């Protein structure tokens, strides 16, 4: 994608975040209160038409930014924190400790088990277990995203540990905990954090899929997947606008978050390449540790 396309994607992401904050107030109608117009085609009064219950499709679509982005951002934040912990346990050797080696192998196997289950099936099972609602959807989406961040960080931690940096830290007597906190983690988190925007897009898509299947948020909470599901039965009778407009918004949102994630990842890679192409020298690490409190 060219530079203009990338800037357009980033601009849309920023606009989506603004809608997530003020969207319900920008909606021309109450997104949870039906109007007298039922199954009305797009018009000046209702630019995206109305659904079978009289809800204004534009209002519901705009207000749904808050629901879907809130779930996605919260879920990605939780899965990122848990994934960092599991990634460290699975990737760092802690000086060859047998206990942590066993823990790392166990974490690896658990991640394999979670990733072997189809994402939507796992999400449906979790929501069915804990019930419908925003907290349950957040927990389900976070759970299925944990292996993604854990494996990314695990690979980065292993790569950093094989570098000369960790050997230099150990040779001057730093503890494994200090080495991990001051040197390994700061140099391992870049790619994992950069993947967050892509994960938000994936989380939005999973949230909509759960709602489309009837296992997402409870109505009348505005949500794209639920709106698409409600309008799916009316497409064959000509009322296409109920599903098509929120479907387009959902697709554009997921794609632009993925593009924004790639932009962030490329920027991080360029920054790391300019900052340090070689491992820090032994003398540099000693000087850094002497400056530490």
Query: What is the tens place of the pLDDT at every residue in 103-125?
Result: 888 998 998 888 888 888 888 88
Residue whose token pair is 């099972």: 125
Question: Tokens representing 222?
Answer: 């505005």
Structure pTM? Answer: 0.85
* pLDDT (0 to 100) of residue 271: 67
φ, ψ of residue 50 in degrees (nearest 5): -130, 160
- Would you list the domain boundaries of the chain? 3-291
pLDDT of residue 286: 46
Q: Is 56 helix (H, G, I), strand (E, B) or coil?
A: strand
8 A C-beta contact, residue 282 and residue 168? yes
Tell me: the pLDDT tens digits for 182-210?
878 888 887 788 788 889 999 999 999 98
Residue 78 has pLDDT above 50, yes or no: yes
How is domain 3-291 classified at the CATH fold level?
MetI-like fold (1.10.3720)
Where are any strands of DSSP class E within the chain?
none
pLDDT given at position 289: 47
Distance of CA 77 to the CA centre of its chain: 7
- Residue 183 gets which letter from DSSP? I
Buried b (16+ CB within 10 A) or exposed e, 198-210: bbbbbbbbbbbbb
| Dist CA 146 CA 115 (whole Å) | 10
212 within 8 A of 225, measured Cβ to Cβ: yes
């Amino acid at each position: 994608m060219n530079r203009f396309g990338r800037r357009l994607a980033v601009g849309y992401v920023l606009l989506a975040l603004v809608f997530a904050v003020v969207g319900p107030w920008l909606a021309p109608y109450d997104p949870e209160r039906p109007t007298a117009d039922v199954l009305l085609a797009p018009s000046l009064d209702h630019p995206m038409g109305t659904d079978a219950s009289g809800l204004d499709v534009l209002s519901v679509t705009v207000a749904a930014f808050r629901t879907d982005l809130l779930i996605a951002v919260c879920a990605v934040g939780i899965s990122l924190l848990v994934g960092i912990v599991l990634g460290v346990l699975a990737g760092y050797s802690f000086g060859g400790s047998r206990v942590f080696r066993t823990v790392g192998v166990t974490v690896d196997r658990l991640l394999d088990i979670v990733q072997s289950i189809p994402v939507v099936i796992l999400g449906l099972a979790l929501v069915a277990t804990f019930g419908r609602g925003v907290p349950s959807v957040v927990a389900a989406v976070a759970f299925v995203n944990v292996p993604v961040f854990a494996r990314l960080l695990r690979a980065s931690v292993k790569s950093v540990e094989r570098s000369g940096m960790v050997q230099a830290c150990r040779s001057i007597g730093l503890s494994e905990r200090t080495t991990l906190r001051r040197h390994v983690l700061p140099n391992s988190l870049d790619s994992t954090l950069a993947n967050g925007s892509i994960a938000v897009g994936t989380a939005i898509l999973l949230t909509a899929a759960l709602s489309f299947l009837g296992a997402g948020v409870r109505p009348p909470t505005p949500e794209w997947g639920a709106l698409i599901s409600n309008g799916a039965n009316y497409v064959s009778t000509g009322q296409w606008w109920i599903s098509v407009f929120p479907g387009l918004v959902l697709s554009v949102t997921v794609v632009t978050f993925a593009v924004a994630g790639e932009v962030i990842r490329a920027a991080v890679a360029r920054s790391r390449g300019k900052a340090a192409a070689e491992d820090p020298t032994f003398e540099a690490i000693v000087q850094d540790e002497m400056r530490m409190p």
